[in-house]
Chains A and B, each alone.
Chain A
């Protein structure tokens, strides 16, 4: 079953009036700067990893339109259940850059005490729910959180992100099914970036599209050009509004491409051709949006360059502010396992005090 692919930014440079969010000039420029910022963050983080200053990174180059377009549609009261590639959405939802960068270093500046690998974001005050590595486990959790809001009569939406690989999990099925049955205010945002590490989406599903699966669960399904920031914004905004209005859940499939590796531990040359990557590079979402803004007379080369320079400088400052923070204290190893430390962890803390020297 094929669903139409929604596109706002047409090849001829025009915008589909039915999907045009009709942003003013300042908002369009802001959205562009957010996308440029994500690309710069990716480049910096990869550099930090290659030079041994952080241990690992999961990049999202090529997915800036899907990240920024959808993240731009969130409102402060909404809840975000991200995956490990959704730093862009998290930042737009209020996760401070300083906290994000400190998480990469995992030192004492990290609000989560260096407990997880890089890219496992978390910020309670911004409603960015703690990320884990198992794929799609956050989906049924987002249904439960949405159920709680619905029970209390609150009007927030709950958006959960995952990839094309995640759509193959049992948790995907469970979450869609529960959201349909309980009519919860959820949005399930699938960044279909064509690969789950090395396995192409054609090996994940024979159903033609991931969004089509929504029909089987009695929820809405939408398929959108994930490299078209205006279309992504529009369909995500509509899905969030439906959720807040009590009209049920939506599965959004954004068709995009992971231009880089799955992670810094991956070599994509093993499983895909340079021609394929080049073909998608010509559909780079930032270049595409820049072209649109240039045609509108809202962007020139100098402004484009300035956006990149500003982004690099902001990221550089954030890195400088936390990179030299001391390591997490050894005793923190046994904290936060339980609300109160039980005897066996107190014993283990004593061992750390005596032998690990803090």
Chain B
């Protein structure tokens, strides 16, 4: 075990996979000599050369389009989109092409591309350096979507994504890049896609979240515990395909659920979670399933702290569920 920040764990996974598999190439803006604006690829350009750590022209549709072509012809590309807010020029390549190659060719052409992109707020980045666009991609059949909350999961999930036969959109909560520190297994290490993690066990209410808000949830769960409320906290880790068994198992036990994310409320992933919970655990429910989310506004600059769910808001939802 080594103690790493989340961004160091990402770097560790990239370096190990590049070492292990010569088909792996990285491409994106400023990822070469500069090592990425968050330094996730620091030193890799020097170590693996500019042919495998590729500084591209500034065009996200080109980065993803090129990555797709690379994957069709046998490489394992990892594309970095510098901020998730800038992924939209590549939306057509992701939605119309990347997600559909396997299906439209009936398995003849596959595009195992990983798209890494920092998402979420908390760095005073305003509209265009803070968004959480995961729902668009979960909505698109053919994509897998993951988002780690700890350094160990960041390493293990990214390595698993890079070995997966399907395209994976890998969101990295940028607020955690340097604030999340933890023990990370050294060397070869994967965390399987599609498996949630129980962060803490409790009997009174299920709290289901992913990414940066896992840490908000932990804080809220600790406060709830002081009031005698046991929180069963689930970190989804892979958003899609969802670990539905873990979700249902938890809610069947507690009978109450709060879903939490930073992304906007309307048609956010929380809406899908609520729908699934009521479909699959309706007779176990003792209270309406609550959502704690960002607001249905563009991501703000000055009012960032108000926008991002905090422990107090989560605690309020927990109390409401328990006292319903």
Contacts and interface: CB of A to CB of B under 8 A. Distances in A.
Interface of A: 79, 111-113, 115-116, 120, 122-124, 129-130, 132, 134, 137, 139-149, 151-152, 170-171, 174-175, 177-178, 181, 335-339, 342-344
Contacts of A120: 104
A144 B25 CA distance: 11
A115 B144 CA distance: 21
Given A140-B93, A151-B52, A178-B57, 12 more contacts: A111-B106, A122-B109, A123-B108, A130-B108, A144-B65, A145-B73, A147-B69, A174-B57, A174-B65, A181-B57, A335-B106, A336-B106
B97 A137 contact: yes
B105 interface: yes
A124 B65 contact: no
Nearest to B243: A343
A2 B197 CA distance: 63
Given A170-B89, A337-B142, A344-B241, A147 B62 contact: no
- Which 3 interchain pairs have the tightest Cβ spacing? A144-B69, A140-B65, A342-B241
A141 B109 contact: no
A139 B92 CA distance: 13
23 contacts: A111-B108, A112-B108, A120-B104, A122-B106, A122-B109, A129-B109, A130-B105, A134-B92, A134-B97, A137-B96, A143-B69, A144-B65, A147-B69, A148-B70, A148-B74, A170-B61, A171-B65, A174-B62, A178-B57, A178-B62, A181-B57, A343-B244, A344-B242
A294 B93 CA distance: 48
B99 to A, nearest CB: 9
Contact of B103 (A146, A147, A337): A337
Given A137-B97, A140-B62, A132 B75 contact: no
Given A124-B105, A130-B105, A140 B61 contact: yes
Contacts of B57: 174, 177-178, 181
A312 B243 CA distance: 55
Nearest to B166: A338
Contacts of B203: none
Contacts of A129: 72, 109
Contacts of B114: none
B11 interface: no
B67 interface: yes
B110 interface: yes
Nearest to B101: A130
B148 interface: no
A172 B65 CA distance: 11
Interface string B228-270: 0000000000000110100000000000000000000000000
B108 A132 contact: no
Interface string B71-95: 1111101000000000001001100
B73 A148 contact: yes
Q: Among A111, A144, A170, find the residue whose CB has the most chain B CB atoms closer than 10 A.
A: A144
B217 interface: no
A116 B100 CA distance: 11
Contacts of B62: 140, 143, 174-175, 177-178
B123 interface: no
B108 A175 contact: no
